[in-house]
Amino acid sequence: MHEKLQDYFSVVFEPELLAEIENNGRLVKLKKGDLLIDVGSVIKEVPLLLEGAIKIVREDKDSHEIVLYFLERGDTCAISFVNCLNNAKSKVRGIVEKDSMAIFVPVKKLEEWMAKYKTWREFVIESYSSRLDEMIEAIDMLAFMKMDERLFKYLSDKVKIMRDPILHTTHYEIAVDMNTSRVVISRLLKQLEKKGKIKLHRNKIEVLEY
């Protein structure tokens, strides 16, 4: 826990705060597919991501979903933190996208730290605003971009987050993430392959350009 914490957070947090995180947080290993938070749940612990990636998804009542943004190492979900200071329920779902490691810190502590540590305050504000930026980007994508552009952005985003140009996913999973049908995704992927931007395999997509 110490080393990883140092790796990603020692540049942003002062030593006392790092020590507090170590004393109050619990280290959790997360497996791909784990459900971190669901719509309607109240959060009492917030994760600081040491390694891996989390997908944040919005879901409607008919289980249509749309990906809002991804969390990476060094990130936290400030939205859910601020949200639970407000005693509100989560409006999003967080799913572990690849095997991850995180430190869970009780919200109560985080609240104390807001007053105590400047770096923590700045971190939360920073994180909140970049999450908001990403969400606005997601809205732009839905409102203004065509399916083929959306798909290519989805692929290149995912490559960046997974840190691997070979995506181990199916057409169906992409279709669910983008709230469209598998057939549409298959056709668009085929077009991208013809343009030489990707290479298709079973359960696997090689992204050549991103």
Taking the mean position of all CA atoms in its chain, how far away is CA 111?
A: 22
Q: Does the footprint of DNA cover residue 63 (CB under 7 A)?
A: no
Q: Does the footprint of DNA cover residue 146 (CB under 7 A)?
A: yes
**Nearer of residues 64 and 118 to DNA, judged by Cβ:** 64
Question: What is the CA angle 82-83-89, rounded to 5?
Answer: 160
Options 36-44, 51-59, 85-93, 200-208: segment touching DNA (CB under 7 A):
200-208
Q: Does the footprint of DNA cover residue 119 (CB under 7 A)?
A: no
Q: Does the footprint of DNA cover residue 189 (CB under 7 A)?
A: yes
Options 59-67, 94-102, 118-126, 140-148: segment touching DNA (CB under 7 A):
140-148
Please give, one letter per residue, the 3-state secondary structure of 122-177: HHHHHHHHHHHHHHHHHHHHHHHCCHHHHHHHHHHHHHHHHCCCEECCCHHHHHHH
User: Residue 33 has which token pair?
Assistant: 């597919």
Q: Does the footprint of DNA cover residue 103 (CB under 7 A)?
A: no
**Nearer of residues 59 and 148 to DNA, judged by Cβ:** 148
Options 85-93, 118-126, 154-162, 198-206: segment touching DNA (CB under 7 A):
198-206
Closest CA to 25 of 42, 56, 4: 4
Q: Does the footprint of DNA cover residue 166 (CB under 7 A)?
A: no
Q: Does the footprint of DNA cover residue 183 (CB under 7 A)?
A: yes
Closest contact distance (angstroms) between CB of 76 and DNA is: 32
**Nearer of residues 91 and 150 to DNA, judged by Cβ:** 150
CB 51 within 8 A of CB 97: no
Options 41-49, 79-87, 157-165, 178-186: segment touching DNA (CB under 7 A):
178-186
Give me the helix-helix angle, 78-85 and 118-144, nearest 10°.
Answer: 110
Query: Measured on CA atoms in the order 118, 121, 124, 129, is the torsion positive or negative?
Result: negative
Q: Does the footprint of DNA cover residue 66 (CB under 7 A)?
A: no
In the block, which residue shows the tokens 């009780």?
A: 106
Query: Where does this chain bind DNA (CB under 7 A)?
Result: 146-148, 170-172, 179-184, 186-190, 200, 202-204
